[in-house]
Structure 1
């Protein structure tokens, strides 16, 4: 294991930002790169990287890494926002994961993205531990961009039950996942259940899935358990969005993984002052809860739940 400072960025009113990385295996090989937190509230993603570093350290010391294996792990590239409790870059509220491939003469977040992307280029596989644009919890899954360069069958090596294929929109073209694909890295976005709080069980699942991927690809000499079944491949567009129509306090009655029937109660929106039920949120189909919004203050016309229809998981 080797720890290094990838680059340093000056920040206003605070010490310079040092982005650190940990390398394992042959430094001349570029097998797998793992990117953790790019946003200031991605605590779970940073924690997963820390646990992965410990697991890889143990594997390297016991000579389980293949001689052809070279791994790079970057746990966090946005300590500045994390320290002040902001999701995006605290100085101008920009999102680093909307700045790739970056511009080394641009604004701060553009320069951070450029330095990160330079460090991550050339790897055969890339895993981004990322978060959804809405605050909430997911079923664990692997997501890939449908760029035309992806090999979706590669994602089965993680052993997770769901593989989600996303058709990129214009704003997706500046994400790490998209640009990795365009620059010939097989990129996967790995979604854990939570974002701004630590879920140890979900973290163990995420670390185990990455180690399983390495083992399947012959980069880690370790036996792995066969997957419980074939992963279910689905397009993100097949998920049913359940929108709020009233604003207020939201109480969830169902959670990710729960099977639901059509018209079953998913949650309620209450008047913040009187406690009166303003809206009952119900499933529009038989299926399984894939995403649940966790912020208990919700506005009108926001995604509160996402349902995976029964036809897509049976």
Structure 2
């Protein structure tokens, strides 16, 4: 393992702000893995740390095959994590909306530029992503549509679901999309958790990345588990959002991964002052709970569930 410096810039009050990377193997620049871009991504930081530990063990055991180089950048936004803020602590910028960055831009743009310049040299890019809304997902791999065509390669992760989606305008400044613009085959991996640590879900993501490396011939060790079939989801066709009609306390009656039938009770909305039930959310379809809102309260017209049909 080699430790490299991705970014180093002066700080007003403390030691310099630095972004570190950990390089394993040698040869073709094969896979870069990027962890935390937001200050609340504790699960993504944990997954990246577990990947570094596992790759270090594989390299020491001689099970990282010759001719391949893997890079892990566990965290690119330590300031926000230190201050317990989701976005950049100085100006509230979302770092995953400023890629590919600029050398003469704002602080987050300069950090994004440093990360992008290093990682765009790799054939594959894996981003340990989080959702913009508070909630829990079924673990899955996601690809945004672009000029590249490599959807079939996502089966190498042996995850239960792969989602393909058209990028929204604001998503064209994300790491995933700009990687693809640079010719990198980009994947976003979603865990069940973001602002807490779920070790079982983290293990699923680490195993999936190792399975991908195994299936690409980059590691020689045996990796157990994984799904032999991958459900391909197009968000516009197979994902049904369920929205609230009222604001209030959110009281779910199901969990992510549950199979539901049309008419099943998904959640109740309780009045914020009296705790009376003011709305019931029932499933309009038969399907599987793919995403669920996890904050204690919700606004009106918020998508609190997404169901696979």
TM-score when scaled to structure 2?
0.97
Answer whether contact 1:122 1:184 (CA < 8 A) is retained.
Answer: no
Partner residue in 2 for 1:240: 240
- 2:28 aligned counterpart, secondary structure: coil
What is residue 45 of structure 2 aligned with on the other side?
A: 46
State the shift of 1:114 in Å: 0.6
Aligned to 1:69, the other structure's residue is in SS state strand
Query: What is the root-mean-square deviation of aligned Cα atoms in Å?
Result: 1.2
Aligned to 2:85: 86
Structure 1 residues 152-211: Cα deviation after superposition (integer angstroms, max 9, x where no partner):
110000010100001112111101001111111111000000000000001111111101
Q: What secondary structure does 2:24 align onto?
A: strand
* Alpha-carbon distance in 1 for matches of 2:245, 2:89: 31
Deviation at 1:224, TM superposition (A): 3.5
Aligned equivalents of 1:175, 1:81: Cα separation in 2 = 18
What does 1:1-314 align with in structure 2 at a 5 Å threshold? 1-26=1-26, 28-225=27-224, 227-237=226-236, 238-309=238-309
Q: Which runs of 5+ in 1 are unaligned?
A: 310-314
Q: Give the Cα separation in 1 of the matches to 2:12 and 2:214.
A: 43
**TM-score computed with the length of structure 1 as normaliser:** 0.95
Separation in structure 2 between the aligned mates of residue 170 and residue 276 of structure 1, nearest angstrom: 40
| C-alpha separation in 1, matches of 2:207 and 2:197 | 16
Deviation at 1:308, TM superposition (A): 0.5
Which sections of structure 2, spanning at least 5 residues, go unmatched? none
What is the distance in 1 between the residues matched to 2:111 and 2:225?
Answer: 39
Q: Is the 8 A contact 1:150 1:181 kept in 2?
A: no
Q: Which runs of 4+ in 1 moved over 2 A?
A: 9-16, 223-229
